[in-house]
Structure 1
């Protein structure tokens, strides 16, 4: 049974495209590990990564925490995370199917909790109550997101935005409101942390990370967006022509090369 506060539509939004997500999405930046380790006062004994998806945000801790637990409600996503873990073979990392407001951890037992690209899908009040319960005194919570689209060239970014915006318009027309996922305002993350009363100190930290992309990966990143995937699930072909136009434009810009793509991150941190 799904615990109260969790929306089935939000969980099912990520079903069926775990391979695309895992292949094209950015790795979690090492910079956040350095910041959160310093805030926590040293190498964490236990990190929980809630809403971990395919594990991209969990594996970044592989060499920097004694134990890592990824928590994810979607069966397809966590299945992919476990496949990745089997390939990597790290015995101190595990993945459990669970919910942000009902964590399988003792009170005061966790050093660092992260939410990578996921806090906006969670009910904030009950999630932060549970985070406060399981964090030790001085433990750190961090909800971080990258801005979409990543920076490469204005004309490519504009085309990316048009594609995603058109997907949202199609969803609004074809899907009943009760069948849509509820995406909460990321701009309220910091105020939610402050208003929870759970943290002695809260701050927003901005940083950047560069990854190397070819044209195929940049197109794949756009196709990994939840709105685009939802249009596919709805059986609509309305994006097909737009996708091919976008693919052609990106291929022309990259011209067979691999290029640096800049991801800008916003991390909201709370220290218990």
Structure 2
């Protein structure tokens, strides 16, 4: 049973394309770990990555924390994360459990760090932050961080990227009832939500960048792995087929078979208990 405050459509949005998601989405940058550990002031004993998906944001902590727990409500996503464990050095320090952000099966005051990588906007913020405060140690860190889409290459290609995602949302509006759609909250409100919760002695937004190698396949895959596009495809609609083909063609023309250094921009909203 889904705990109160959670939306089933938000959970189900990520079903059925875990391999595609895992292939194209960025791993957590090392700077995430460096920033959080610096604010914590010590090596974390326990990091809990909430809404961990396929573990891209969880595995990054291996070797930097004594124990890591990834929490994820979607069965397909967590199954992919568990598949990867067998091929991970230090796998004995990390585990993945089903669960929800506002009902963590953890003892109070036992967690040094909670992260939400590109996931906090899918959660009910007040109950999530209340639960985070319960399980965090004094001085513990809550950090919600997100990548700005699309990654920076050239305005013409980025405009086509944005148009594709915008059309996906428009198509979904025509194919589904409002109550059946996933409910994405405004990321720009994350910092204010941390402040208004009254559960953190210090809050801050930190902006940083990460350079990653990217070719045409990956750049187009980043767009096609977005939940709106995937939901349209899962519903059996062909309304995006031409747009996807055009985007892939333009991406290939831009990259011209090259692998380029691409700027991924991040925003972290951080709270210290």
TM-score by length of 2: 0.99
Q: Deviations over 1:37-67 (max 9, x none)?
A: 0111111000000000000000110110000
Aligned length: 272
| Alignment correspondent of 2:40 | 40
| Alignment correspondent of 1:55 | 55
Aligned-residue CA RMSD (Å): 0.6
Taking the TM superposition and a 5 Å limit, the aligned residue runs for 1:58-207 are 58-89=58-89, 90-207=91-208
In 2, the alpha carbon distance for the partners of 1:50 and 1:86 equals: 21
In 1, the alpha carbon distance for the partners of 2:195 and 2:86 equals: 39
| Alignment correspondent of 2:214 | 213
Q: Deviations over 1:134-164 (max 9, x none)?
A: 0000000000001111101111111100110
SS at 2:87 equivalent: helix
SS at 2:252 equivalent: helix
In 1, the alpha carbon distance for the partners of 2:127 and 2:153 equals: 38
| Alignment correspondent of 1:249 | 250
Asked if 2 retains the 8 angstrom alpha-carbon contact of 1:152 and 1:260, the reply is no
Q: Deviations over 1:58-83 (max 9, x none)?
A: 01101100000000000000000000
In 1, the alpha carbon distance for the partners of 2:108 and 2:249 equals: 53
Asked if 2 retains the 8 angstrom alpha-carbon contact of 1:72 and 1:97, the reply is yes
In 2, the alpha carbon distance for the partners of 1:54 and 1:99 equals: 15
Q: Tell me which stretches of 4 or more aligned residues in structure 1 moved more than 2 Å.
A: none
SS at 1:193 equivalent: helix
Q: CA deviation at 1:222?
A: 0.6
In 2, the alpha carbon distance for the partners of 1:91 and 1:244 equals: 43
SS at 1:91 equivalent: helix
SS at 1:227 equivalent: helix
After superposing the two structures, state which structure 1 stretch, 132-141 or 213-222, moved more. Answer: 213-222
Q: CA deviation at 1:87?
A: 1.8
Q: Deviations over 1:201-230 (max 9, x none)?
A: 000000000110111111111100011001
Q: Deviations over 1:10-32 (max 9, x none)?
A: 00000001001000001111001
Q: CA deviation at 1:85?
A: 1.2
In 2, the alpha carbon distance for the partners of 1:151 and 1:84 equals: 29
| Alignment correspondent of 1:267 | 268
Q: CA deviation at 1:104?
A: 1.1
In 2, the alpha carbon distance for the partners of 1:165 and 1:20 equals: 20
Residue ranges of structure 1 left out of the alignment (5+ in a row):
none
